[in-house]
Structure 1
């Protein structure tokens, strides 16, 4: 539900996207130590506020979801001249057993706002937030009903639909691929939206679907991609965190060995153009961009200003400019694809197309085509 707090946040989204769409934080963990510049009005001495996040198992350097959230915190720290370790930081989770200890460790360090990044942290955040009412928490991609928790979810199905349109127009084979992380209602939205977009353009195009049941097993991603590309599938969309790194590795290796082979990956969460670079070629067709970084940064701003949206469920989609489709690879993302994606985007914004989120809704949608 959107209220006055979120109307302010939506405006901030647009402002940040306009001013900072071309910049990203350094990927190196140690690079943020340099992001401590202060201006004459805002220094670490005048701000009594701190923020931290707990990653899911994909890790902060997954080049996807967790990394995007960390970039949001880095941007917030740089904006206010804060010092990493004192005013902002992250706790890495290698598996689910790390969630609770990491949250408690950040609590002991007295962070004012703590993010749980990913639906897998729901239970741990809910439990810790219940026992620590004076601390603000935010959960990304899940909903927790608590006065000291801000819940943020995205309309991933909308962006996935649009990259499905791109995949259908790019495919030269009779099948495209989808690689998911852990089976869940969240990743199902990616899958269903993608299938709906593909079928809207070409009802005869099949979609092969594989789930890794992990967000960190890169080898599984590579194995899936090897099988799909080997069977002639030329476009794969992944919604799988670091598993997708394996998909990119397989695609890059294939294009290195045979530059003429049509091999494409559709990235997720952030523009993954750089992940696709192999020599003079780039295998990234496009990416479904989900502005987790902006959401994290702006919720931190709201908490700092005393306007923390505790108890609210914030839903972000195309209309908020929080979901987008990257067009960085102009050699692959043709004018035909760009124009078609824009047309379908407008139909979604106009309410003409309601993108399905579940298998049942997908079945009804396909019957209506």
Structure 2
């Protein structure tokens, strides 16, 4: 059983006790052993100017020919055609490919009984952690074999597992796309600390602490999306990690936010990290799948490749994270975001601009 301990705020003039985990050095074979030196809070929260310039240059090098096929496909089908395309891709659970998921069900490690976790690419928690299971999968984009870890929202019983996973994979960016409560239902356990607090989680004697460092509301160039950016320090098993937690507050369950540039800007910031980006909503497949599909397309664009057909991309994602993208609206949202991105970057000719206006009008009618 996990024990959730809220540490009291330190009193001025007192000397903090040293953690036992820090006093005992892990054995050499410990997979989490790493340098004690961590990047400063500023470095985690703000990418360097050189890295930002590199990102901008990559965007400038996108060729119109890379997106001609994709744009033609989207505009010709329109929202109604894309809805039919999505409906033709049936969702199902092959539990023979999810044996660890079934075993973990008995220990209360799964949030939903009907949302499985594939065995072939599941995240495995390494020793000395008591169990290797967490409901999470590595998901690749064309040029990054472990671009994402798609996972369910932490349960009270899985908070320690979640943070150990972040330590193990040296995660620098976490996307939380749900709220703790939605429509009166519990969607996520409170797994990260609020202002000036520290939380401690435990799994069979293995403790992990998560400390609040700073927080602010993200500012986007042309969006009112509400995303809270919080810098956290995670310590446990002889390792220390600074990570940035992005909580998208106003993304509705099974719905879609405004299809503006907020998500593209957020991905551009997180993309600078070489480590996997952790993404979760409640089940870790709907809103989460939308983010993954957009980044899959962006990865192709930024690396000079032609964007694949949408249904083929989604099929590849679902082979890694079962049943990703749950609704037609989420599927349409992915396409509208990409089309708006092309418009923002002035990649459309005049004919495409007119067709895009028509597509946008039909999109809004479809999702609202």
Give the greater-gyration-radius structure (CA): 2
Q: Same fold (TM over 0.5)?
A: no
TM-score (structure 2 length as normaliser): 0.27
More helix by share: 1
Q: Which of the pair has the greater relative contact order for Cα pairs under 8 Å at 6+ separation?
A: 2
